[in-house]
């Protein structure tokens, strides 16, 4: 989710939450810094852009599947806390994490060093594995949904499109193509229900496909022996370094 130029949105009328400034915006809605008056804690609230009456089935599915994600408690997953609506606007509540997204980090400072990239990828892979063991599929893994903390941890956020395989209800038949096009698996374009626990293109700033901006080079660039040694060290670190 981009933190740049977050547009204003109609805020839900919920006395429990005190809304602050917008801190991010994406295709589905805008994220606000807020305070949970009931528990006295800071939270992040994603306000969905589509009105409830315009797509009631979509809101029902998002709320049900988001609540399925509240079962996830992992050091590399941003906690999903609650979901609701005020009769017009739906919202999703997350724990508030003070960090910068991987997408913003790459945009401002360029690509990560190899070892840093391995550490981030390892932590997110562990988070996804944990979620998959509990039959929850994220469906929108991308750099903007990976938060980097100052202590070196990486956290996966925005389970707003999570798929719950434990549920018997099939509301995803109305979902169509869910996710971010530049980072979606090919089968996800045709049917959101087909998404499973498969590797993604998230470790790259953009997926390397002919239709992506920039596309791919026709032939791979030759790699030096020194590069190969660094790659081997990164692979060893990925198996042995703490996350």
Pairing mode, strands 100-101 and 146-148:
antiparallel
Q: Are 17 and 42 in contact (CB under 8 A)?
A: no
Q: Single out the residue of 75, 15, 70 nearest to residue 242, CA to CA.
A: 75
Q: Could you give the CA distance from residue 228 to residue 169 in angstroms, rounded to a whole number?
A: 49
C-alpha closest to that of 77 among 181, 176, 180, 149? 149
154: which strand partners? 148
Annotated catalytic residue 191: no
User: Which strand ranges, in their side-by-side order, compose the sheet holding 90-95?
Assistant: 17-25, 29-36, 41-48, 90-95, 80-85
For 130, the enclosing helix (H) or strand (E) is helix 114-133
Rounded CA-CA distance 126/128 in Å is 5
Task: Give the single-character DSSP code of 150.
Answer: T
Report d(CA 79, CA 76) in Å as an integer. Answer: 9
Phi, psi of 82 (to 5 degrees): -165, 165
CB atoms within 10 A of CB 85: 18
Catalytic residue among 36, 140, 144, 164: 140
Question: So which residues are the catalytic ones?
Answer: 140
């Amino acid at each position: 989710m981009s933190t740049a130029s977050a547009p204003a949105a109609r805020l839900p009328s919920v006395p429990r939450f005190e809304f602050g400034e917008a801190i991010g915006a994406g295709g589905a809605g805008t994220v606000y810094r807020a305070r949970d008056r009931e528990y006295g804690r800071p939270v992040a609230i994603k306000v969905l852009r589509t009105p409830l009456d315009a797509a009631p089935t979509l809101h029902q599915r998002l709320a049900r599947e988001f609540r399925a994600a509240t079962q996830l408690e992992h050091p590399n997953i941003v906690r999903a806390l609650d979901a609701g609506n005020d009769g017009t606007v739906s919202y999703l509540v997350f724990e508030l994490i003070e960090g910068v997204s991987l997408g913003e980090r790459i945009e401002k400072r360029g690509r990560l060093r190899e070892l840093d990239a391995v550490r981030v990828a390892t932590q997110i892979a562990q988070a996804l594995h944990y979620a998959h063991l509990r039959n929850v599929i994220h469906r929108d893994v991308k750099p903007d949904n990976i938060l980097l903390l100052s202590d070196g941890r990486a956290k996966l956020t925005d389970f707003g499109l999570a798929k719950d395989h434990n549920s018997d209800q099939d509301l995803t038949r109305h979902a169509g193509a869910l996710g971010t096009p530049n980072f979606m698996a090919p089968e996800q374009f045709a049917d959101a229900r087909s998404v499973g626990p498969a590797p993604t293109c998230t470790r790259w700033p953009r997926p390397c496909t002919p239709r992506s901006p920039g596309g791919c080079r026709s032939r791979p660039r030759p790699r030096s022996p020194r590069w190969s040694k660094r790659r081997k060290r990164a692979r060893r670190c990925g198996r042995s370094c703490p996350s």
